[in-house]
Amino acid sequence: MDTQGHKGAMLTTLKRIVQEMNQIPALDTALFRLASRVKQTLDVDSCSIYLADYEKQTFILKATDGLHPDAVEQVHIGFSEGLIGLVGQREEPLNIVNAQHHPRFKHYPEVKEENYNAFLGTPIIHQRKVLGVITLQQSEMRRFSEDEEAFLVTLAAQLALEITNADMRGALNNTANVNSIALQKNVSGIAGSPGLAIGKGFSPDKSLNLKNWVVKRSKNPNDEIQTYRKGVEVTRQHVDGLSKSLDDDIPDDVKSIFQLYHHLLDANSLGREVEEKIRQGWDAASSLKMVVENYAARFRAMDDPYMQERAIDIVDLSDRILANILTEGQGQKLVEKLATEDSILVADEVSATMLAEFPREKLKGIISIRGSNNSHAAILARAMGVPAVMGCQNVSPALLEGKELLLDGYAGEVIVSPERNIKTEFIQLIEEESAITERIDAEAGQPCESVDGCRMSLYINAGLSAEAELNAGHIGSGIGLYRTEIPFMLRERFPSEQEQVELYRQILESAPDLPITMRTLDVGGDKPLPYFPINEENPFLGWRGIRLTLDHPEIFLVQVRAMLRASIGLKNLRIMLPMISTVAEVQEAKRLVNQAYFEICDEVCESGEVLQRPKLGIMLEVPSVLYQLPQLAKHVDFFSVGSNDLTQYLLAVDRNNTRVAGLYNSYHPAVLAALYDIVQQSNENQIPVTICGEIAGEPAGAILLMGMGYRRLSMNAFNIRKINWLIRKVSLAESKQLLSLALTSQSHEQVFGHLNEYLETKGLGGLIRAGA
């Protein structure tokens, strides 16, 4: 027999069985259907499914085709009893020729299995937890084949996801009766924007969308083109209104998210292709659908999370155009009519426009089922100071609609239909946070110095749209990291030297007496430019940062020249190189910076203007540089630690991947040891070092970093006041004691235990959320 063909057929059958199960809303019914389909497909005498009940420590028979039907729900097998218990304990398949003679066999008279001998059982496991066991039984004495075992193992893996999803649906759907009590459920995601929030789940009406639109022909192309243009015009006005309605204190580069929308609304962008489709005989809505789905698919296919998120924006905007084509500009304010109480906005993919049009006084938090902390929704949420959780699995907006939600934007957790005591504790946390915020605001502007006289300098990370506050009053000691990528990402081509000069000049002039560190272009594998796509199997280890710009000196030189020209007459520019992994890269980059410096010097010498040579530094984020710091120190003026990437590389964890995001933690003792080693080596080599990852802006992190010897911390602007206030409440001696406890801990949980205990004893419990 053709083995490959047989396996292909098995896989097809397996997919069909899972799809059938998907379409049955009630889990019990779906499991019965599954059991009978597996029995029929594999031609065995019995298939049964047991699910774990952790409260009672038993497996309950939930469905069978072959055992006695009356035994369903009646048979409870202890976790350490019988063959079912053995499969659960061993967490691996058990294939037995004669089950009745196995030492662990236990007779349950209700199931009527006296005639069965052959037994195959496989555990159903999701995220290390045994959810149940699926079994096959046969009257003849035989060993089940490798194919049958492989089929059952594969099915069990699929079944684990379905049971998890159904468990979530069952707990959230609460449809048993009107008086029943909703069960509390926890939903995990990725922290998108810090903060705590309570509100009712609110899902905007997206009934008109391209996905559900069925394509239609039309015989009146001219009319359809007019309809399309009118729809675009109404959408343009609406987007303009939203852009203007955003708070004034949100930086311009956040509002530039809407520039992407304007670009897409331009007739030369989508418009030309849509009108071409209309001329081919499709109606306006169908033409829009075909063009947009093609664009969105291209964006989704990119490796870079930031670029994948742009597909969300394209689809969201196009759904709005569709609604305007179909309603001629009516029905655009659905959200404002419906959100009448404190709400947490829930959507499959929260878009920037959804956020902008939601009544601000009602918006307490955001849950985006898909999306990452790179999404425009997360960027905007951080700018607006709204807590957000992104990338939630095993849940849909419909299931959260109208439910009471507790949202923890620090941990990326959502509690649905909370129990009373949990809600009370959460309200207390919010009150503590609020009280501390008032105290922090009242003491803003004080010098950042510990109680025993350790002086710290706090800088801001700017340029990622969300946190750039280019107002000298808010940027502490200066800008420790200005990310230059955004203007590159918002264009259809590389920005010209003059365009870059204007932007950089504005930033340098915003605080002429404070140092401003500009990082050269940090794009590449994991965040390619739309006009410079890069497809790589492993983008984080690929062609990015300095590797890309050194391979394209024309891009690097234009940017460095622009920075230098922008700094003429000023003394505050510092240039930083990202993703350095060798001394040779520093030498080559330095040669190019010198070349650009002498070129600009020649240009300005006649005018009498002064060009100051900027200090040059490097990002420490690739683990290899930890072992070359003395050699690197000879070539640069300063170091800056990118702790986010350093953590990611040291722990081999992609922090945007929800499956392993739980392993990503900058408080892992190994990461803390690396950070401590860096500051010690920097001090030995007499080279200034700043740390600009997220750990610097977290209370727990700031205390540990001070204990290590860091004196320059760079963070998101909204954390500056909090960290300043905290430093003035603690001592350097205490932070050193805490550090020694942290460095000898076995896990990040143990580290947090020490930190939380310390903050509690200082009466700073309200900062614990932000610290962990």
- Kindly list the catalytic residues: 376, 692
Q: What six digits make up the tokens of 593? A: 């910076």
Who's near 374: CB < 8 A, 6+ residues apart?
A: 305, 306, 309, 527, 656
Q: Do the Cβ atoms of 474 and 457 come closer than 8 Å?
A: no
- Euclidean distance between CA atoms 208 and 433, whole angstroms: 40
- Euclidean distance between CA atoms 446 and 559, whole angstroms: 37
- Euclidean distance between CA atoms 22 and 17, whole angstroms: 9
- Euclidean distance between CA atoms 464 and 444, whole angstroms: 24
Q: Do the Cβ atoms of 46 and 69 come closer than 8 Å?
A: no
**Angle at CA of residue 78, ends 76 and 84, nearest 5°:** 85
- Euclidean distance between CA atoms 412 and 391, whole angstroms: 9
Q: What amino acid occupies position 279?
A: R
What is the three-class DSSP state of 503?
Answer: helix
Which is nearest to 532 in space by CA: 523, 541, 540? 523
**Angle at CA of residue 638, ends 634 and 641, nearest 5°:** 115
Cα–Cα distances in Å, from 122 out to 9, 131, 211, 563?
A: 21, 11, 38, 62
Gap between the terminal Cα atoms of the chain: 58
Cα–Cα distances in Å, from 735 out to 669, 678, 701, 704, 707?
A: 16, 18, 10, 6, 5
- Euclidean distance between CA atoms 325 and 245, whole angstroms: 24
* Crossing angle for the helix pair 3-22 and 27-42, to the nearest 10 degrees: 160
- Euclidean distance between CA atoms 174 and 182, whole angstroms: 6
Half-sphere exposure of 118 (CA within 13 A, CB side): 16
The CB density around residue 427, as the number of other CB atoms within 10 Å, is 13
- Euclidean distance between CA atoms 625 and 681, whole angstroms: 11
The CB density around residue 435, as the number of other CB atoms within 10 Å, is 11
What is the three-class DSSP state of 357?
Answer: helix
- Euclidean distance between CA atoms 765 and 425, whole angstroms: 13
Report long-range pairs for 421-429 (Cβ below 8 Å, ≥24 apart).
422/184, 423/198, 426/196, 426/198, 427/198, 429/196, 429/766, 429/769
Helices and strands, number each (H, E), in the chain: 28, 22
- H helices of 642-747, where? 643-651, 669-684, 699-708, 720-727, 732-743
- H helices of 266-351, where? 272-279, 284-300, 305-327, 334-338
Q: Do the Cβ atoms of 356 and 245 come closer than 8 Å?
A: yes
The CB density around residue 388, as the number of other CB atoms within 10 Å, is 33
Q: Do the Cβ atoms of 465 and 251 come closer than 8 Å?
A: yes
The CB density around residue 2, as the number of other CB atoms within 10 Å, is 8
Q: What amino acid occupies position 36?
A: S
Buried b or exposed e, range 392-421, using 16+ CB within 10 angstroms? bbbbbbebbeebbbbbbbbebbbbbbbeee
Cα–Cα distances in Å, from 515 out to 251, 478, 572, 715?
A: 20, 5, 5, 15
- H helices of 339-384, where? 352-357, 376-384
